[in-house]
Amino acid sequence: MTKLKITIIRAFSPGDVFGHEYRSPAGEIAKACYLKEGDSWIVEGDKKPEGFCSWAWEDLRKDRYLLYFGGDIPDTEDGVVFVSCSDGKRPVVFKLERVSN
C-alpha cells in the first residue's frame, strides 16, 4: 500500500489569525494548536497516527485518498498536496507527500 509523509509546514496561533488574543464567550483565552511546525508522520491506510489531531485527520481525508490512489494537483509537484485543517482560530498547514513503498 502507498505510504504518505505528513509534515506540519505552519501552525497559526489565534493571534496570527485575529491580530490579538481570542477569548471565548466564557472569557477563556484560546490557545495555539498543540501540533508543532516540523512535526511529521509516515502513515499507511486510514489509521490516525498517535498524537495526531482527530479533527485535522478528518480534514485531510480527501487529500490522503487523492494521493493514495495516484492523483495529483495541477501546478503542484506530483505526489504532493498542501492543505490546512479547518480550525478557523488556529489553522495548521500540512504538506502531504506520497512516498515510495
How far apart are the C-alpha atoms of 37 and 12, rounded to whole Å?
A: 9
DSSP-derived 3-state class of residue 93: strand
How far apart are the C-alpha atoms of 77 and 28, rounded to whole Å?
A: 41
Beta bridge partners of 4: 43, 98
Query: What is the structure's pLDDT at 101?
Result: 62
Instruction: Spell out the domain ranges in the chain.
Output: 3-99
CB 97 within 8 A of CB 76: no
Each residue of 8-54: pLDDT tens digit? 999 999 999 999 999 999 999 999 999 999 999 999 988 999 999 99
Q: Express as a percent the part of the chain with pLDDT over 90.
A: 93
- Ranges of beta strands (E only) in 1-101 are 3-11, 40-44, 80-84, 92-99
CB 13 within 8 A of CB 90: yes
Each residue of 82-96: pLDDT tens digit? 999 999 999 999 999
How far from 7 is each of 21, 25, 32, 86, 93, CA to CA, in Å?
A: 26, 33, 17, 16, 9
CB 93 within 8 A of CB 83: yes
**How much is the pTM?**
0.91
